[in-house]
Chain A
Amino acid sequence: MAKIELQEVGLRYENNDVLSNFSIEVEENEFLTLLGPSGCGKSTTLNLISGLLEPSYGEILIDGQVVNGVAPRHRQVAMVFQDYALYPHMNVFENLSFPLKAQKLGDQIIRSRVEDVCQTLGMAELTDRFPSDLSGGQRQRVALGRALVRDPRAFLMDEPLSNLDARLRVAMRAELKRLHNQVRTTIVYVTHDQAEAMTLSDRVAVLWDGKLQQIGTPREVYERPANQFVAGFVGGLGINLVPCTVESTGGDHFLSQGSFRIPISDRLAKKIETQSGREVAVGIRPEHIVVVEQEETGTQGVIEVLEYLGPETLVHLRVGTVPLIAKAPAHANWDIDTKVNFRIDKSRACIFSGKDERLIAVGIE
């Protein structure tokens, strides 16, 4: 299995930078996910690796060899497309054997390899069917099988689960994970679904506007987001971002906006000042805000909306002018406009620079 490197790669199209100065290394057998909103350049990156697009500048290496200018068919990578791209005039067997025929393998070998893949994916009884007779999940499987059957150097997957309904998506997600553990191969996976990225990947690369924002393990990306964009994009509910000013009275320092006020240490105040001046944004994930009973201490807020989700309830709070979303247990039941106290898990809060939105620190001390 192969190592894939992109070195300072960029693509310009009609005077737009679709991708700029993008560098990334995908290790052997790694499951790397490119995560980002639509139009961020993640599919473009995949097309560059597969050779369907040529970069305007920069080098792409597979196993240490520069593959710029090498035709897709000579790169020995397999690709799974978002719309599956099954050949409608061929049945499942023909679809699966199509890439093997290109390698001019014998009929015997082709048959046994296709049968192996059908076994692995549990679709041995489907080989005579045409794509139009298959369900969405089955088509998905065939698309995956067509990549698997080739024994390629790397798999490139372009949002392969995005057309499935929610339940099937979760099932296929688990199957993909099992498959990766089983065949242990290099996978570059593109998605805009952060849940897929978190559950499947060894590492996640977050892209936005054609630029790499952060690369790291799912935990790193979630807990130490490099900037406000990553913080907001990763995590199903996003993050509460509160623009604050550092205020100093006497020897005490606070991050405050109106009645929203958090005391901070001398050290943190200095750190903020050297990196960002006085303006920052405090990022707090909803699960790190705990609504407590009236009598306990904490900051006070007003409940504006309650959203019952089943396993939990979302509480929309307002502290002065600052809106916050908190997670509460499902049984939580307050009246609208009730005043409640809440506590913030300050050790998990992120502080972003007010200047360039970059992370300054995790944890408020």
Chain B
Amino acid sequence: MKPYILRQKLRHGILFLTLSGITVLMLLPFIWVIITSLKPESQVYVFPPEWVPSPVTLENYQAVWASNMPLYLFNSTIVAVGSIILTLIVSIHAAYAVSRFKFRGMNVFMFLLIASHMIPGVANLVPTYLLASKMNLLDTYIVLILVYSMWQTPLVVWLIQGFLQNVPQSLDKAAMVDGYSRLGAMYRVVVPLSKPGLAAAAIVVFVYAWNEFVIALTLTSSDEMRLAQVGLKYYISQFGIQWGELTAAVVLSTIPVLLLFILLQKWFIYGLTSGAMKG
């Protein structure tokens, strides 16, 4: 073997090993969660810990399924999906305006938009609570959807406008000459061509809404309105932590996120606009 090929192979090998190591390290907590969720309660505290649970049991999952956790997951789904829809509707229009029109103070506007996202969420918590209480919106889906959407909109406007800018403006113009209004051109041509950006934005919003804890805890109080993240906390009580059920609930609560990724995967098609132009 020629020395330079050997060197190259060696370099690739080292790189592969390093990256594999890092990957395993990062997945380790999640793997441990899955393993723990399959152990009977008695085995959870065994030392040294056992990597393969024996016997494998689904009793934790059965317990979680019988509790209110499915309802919390349902609530979380409603709130997260609602947040995606509202955020995208608002953001698409704002991002389109930014990507297509030049207006006085645009850069300042865009800066302020992203600056508002830099305010720590907790700082807004008390005013938000008071406002929600005045509007009789406490303990509803709507308040969570509103707050989450408004919180994510600035970020998503920034994210989407980059994608919209990649859609050539002559396509809007062609659609307008072809007989559509500007909004019509936007819905029929620009939005469909920005699907990869919208899919990315949807995931950002979903993950945020799904994982958010403090706002959900503050703005909801009844058991019927509880979200999954808040529900998980109730497995940690003053009498101890129910590790088995907690980990089973955690595993269950990651499923919708995975589903969304799979669902949106076909939208992540690059080069969607190829062929529009002279090429």
Contacts and interface: CB of A to CB of B under 8 A. Distances in A.
Interface string B95-131: 0000000000000000000000000000000000000
Contact of B168 (A83, A98, A136, A156): A83
Contact of B274 (A50, A77, A82, A132): A132
Contacts of A171: none
A135 B260 CA distance: 37
A72 B171 contact: no
A87 B189 contact: yes
Contacts, number: 89
A139 B278 contact: yes
A133 interface: yes
A52 interface: yes
Nearest to B169: A85
Contact of A87 (B171, B173, B176, B179): B171
A236 B93 CA distance: 48
Interface size class of B (residues with CB under 8 A): 20 to 34
A85 B179 contact: no
Given A52-B173, A85-B168, A85-B170, A131 B276 contact: yes
Nearest to B271: A132
Nearest to A136: B278
Interface in A83-106: 83-89, 98-99, 102-103
Contact of A103 (B175, B179, B193, B277): B179
Interface string B158-192: 00000000001011011111111100100011001
A98 B174 CA distance: 10
A132 B275 CA distance: 4
A22 interface: no
A181 B188 CA distance: 34
Given A81-B173, A85-B171, A73 B181 contact: yes
Contacts of B176: 51-52, 71-73
Interface string A98-141: 11001100000000000000000000000000111110100100
Given A85-B170, A89-B192, A79 B177 contact: yes
B254 interface: no
B179 to A, nearest CB: 3
Contacts of B277: 83-85
A86 B188 CA distance: 13
B279 interface: yes
A78 B175 CA distance: 10
Nearest to B189: A87
Given A52-B173, A85-B170, A89-B192, A146 B275 contact: no
Nearest to A52: B173
A163 interface: yes
Contact of A98 (B178, B192, B273, B279): B178
B272 interface: yes
Interface centre among A50, A73, A139, A156 (most CB of B within 10 A): A73
B111 to A, nearest CB: 23
B180 A73 contact: yes
Nearest to A143: B174
Contacts of B189: 87, 89
A77 B177 contact: yes
Given A73-B179, A88-B193, A98-B178, A81 B170 contact: yes
B269 to A, nearest CB: 10
A71 B180 CA distance: 9
Interface in A195-216: none
A150 B176 CA distance: 14
B278 A163 contact: yes
Contacts of B192: 89
Contacts of A89: 189, 192-193, 272
B178 A136 contact: no
A153 to B, nearest CB: 12
Interface of A: 50-52, 71-73, 77-79, 81-89, 98-99, 102-103, 130-134, 136, 139, 146, 150, 156, 163
